[in-house]
Structure 1
Amino acid sequence: MIPIAPIFIKSKETLQKLSLLLDEERLAYGGSDSEVIISLSEQKQTLLDEMNQLNEKRVNVLIKFDVLDRKKPTEQDFKDWLNLQDSSMDEVRLLMQECEALLKKCKTQNNTNAQVLNTLQKRNKYLFELLQGHSSKNKVYTSRGSTRPISSKQTLGRA
């Protein structure tokens, strides 16, 4: 029997941690605490590195047992092979399905966080321009054809 169940178990645990971390990250964006956001980002990168290592380990084990082609290993080849196995591989099938569901959830959470971050960046840029007296609506063309904002003489800093 191929020893890949422990790899899937560890992958599942890592994806669960990542999901919780992504929830924390979304909440941290609401708090606007940059130190917490940076810390969470570093933790997220560590978990992603761990997932990459687990995936490499899984592929190497499958290549070693001649399940996957050494030159061009694909996920579909593994799934096709797994579907041909008897009931002794049911645990691996279940773990793989759970990992795929968790991965899909993490991707959705990460995309949501990216949208929240993008909105916050736009808001902060607008507020910064407002403080400087610039407006994205008030721009003029330079002699080279690019645009630059018109500075207001009544900026908040000069008031």
Structure 2
Amino acid sequence: MIPIALIFVRSKEILENLSSLLDEERLAYGQSDSKKIINLAEQKQSLLDEMNQLNEKKINILIKFDIVDRRNPTEEEFKTWLSLQDSSMDDVRLLIQECEKLLKKCKTQNNTNARILSTLQKRNKHLYELLQGHSIKNKVYTSRGSTRPISSKHTLGRA
């Protein structure tokens, strides 16, 4: 028996934790809590690092048992091999399905958070430009063809 089920059990736990962190991150964006956002980013990175280590471990086990090609191991090779196994591997199949479902959920949550963050960044940039007295109308082209704002003498800081 290949000792791969434990890897998928841990992967599932990591994905569940990651999903929870992504929910917390979305709430932290709403509260503009920068300390919490930084803390959550560190926790997410730690989970992703562990997930990468598990993936490497899985690949090494699959290579060791000659299930995938040593030079170019693919997930498809593993899934093909798994589909040919008897019912003793049903628990691994179920874990893989659960992990794939959780991974899809995490990707959706991450994309949602990325859109929220992008919106917040645009809003903050606009507010910063207003404080500096810049306006979308008051922009000129530089020698390289990009635009830069013209500063106004009537900035909020000078008022």
Does the C-alpha gap of structure 1 residues 60 and 155 become closer, same or farther in structure 2, counting only changes over 3 Å?
A: same
Over residues 23-47 of structure 1, what are the superposed CA-to-partner deviations in whole Å (9 max), with x where a residue is unaligned?
Answer: 0011011111111111000000000
Does the C-alpha gap of structure 1 residues 142 and 65 become closer, same or farther in structure 2, counting only changes over 3 Å?
A: closer
Report how far residue 96 of structure 1 moved. Answer: 0.3
Letter of the structure 1 residue corresponding to residue 49 of structure 2? D
Report how far residue 143 of structure 1 moved. Answer: 5.4
Letter of the structure 2 residue corresponding to residue 124 of structure 1? N
Structural mapping, 1:6-85, within 5 Å? 6-85=6-85
Q: Name the CA distance, whole Å, in 2 between partners of 1:82 and 1:6.
A: 16
Letter of the structure 1 residue corresponding to residue 128 of structure 2? F
Report how far residue 142 of structure 1 moved. Answer: 4.2
Q: Name the CA distance, whole Å, in 1 between partners of 2:110 and 2:116.
A: 10
Moved more, 96-105 or 147-156: 147-156
Does the C-alpha gap of structure 1 residues 78 and 140 become closer, same or farther in structure 2, counting only changes over 3 Å?
A: same
1:154 maps to: 154
The alignment status of 1:123 with 2:132, answered yes or no, reads no
Provide structure 2 residue ranges, at least 5 long, that are not aligned to the other structure. Answer: none
Report how far residue 153 of structure 1 moved. Answer: 2.0
Q: Name the CA distance, whole Å, in 1 between partners of 2:23 and 2:12.
A: 17
Q: Secondary structure at the match of 2:135?
A: coil
Q: Name the CA distance, whole Å, in 2 between partners of 1:54 and 1:90.
A: 20
Q: CA RMSD in A?
A: 1.2
Instruction: Count the aligned residue pairs.
Output: 159
Normalising by structure 1, we get a TM-score of: 0.96
Letter of the structure 2 residue corresponding to residue 109 of structure 1? Q
**Poorly superposed stretches of 4+, deviation over 2 Å:** 141-148
Does the C-alpha gap of structure 1 residues 144 and 82 become closer, same or farther in structure 2, counting only changes over 3 Å?
A: closer
2:2 maps to: 2
Moved more, 131-140 or 20-29: 131-140
Does the C-alpha gap of structure 1 residues 56 and 143 become closer, same or farther in structure 2, counting only changes over 3 Å?
A: closer
Report how far residue 154 of structure 1 moved. Answer: 1.7
Over residues 75-116 of structure 1, what are the superposed CA-to-partner deviations in whole Å (9 max), with x where a residue is unaligned?
Answer: 000000000001000000000000011011101111111110
Q: Name the CA distance, whole Å, in 1 between partners of 2:42 and 2:148.
A: 36
Does the C-alpha gap of structure 1 residues 2 and 123 become closer, same or farther in structure 2, counting only changes over 3 Å?
A: same
Aligned-residue identity in percent: 79
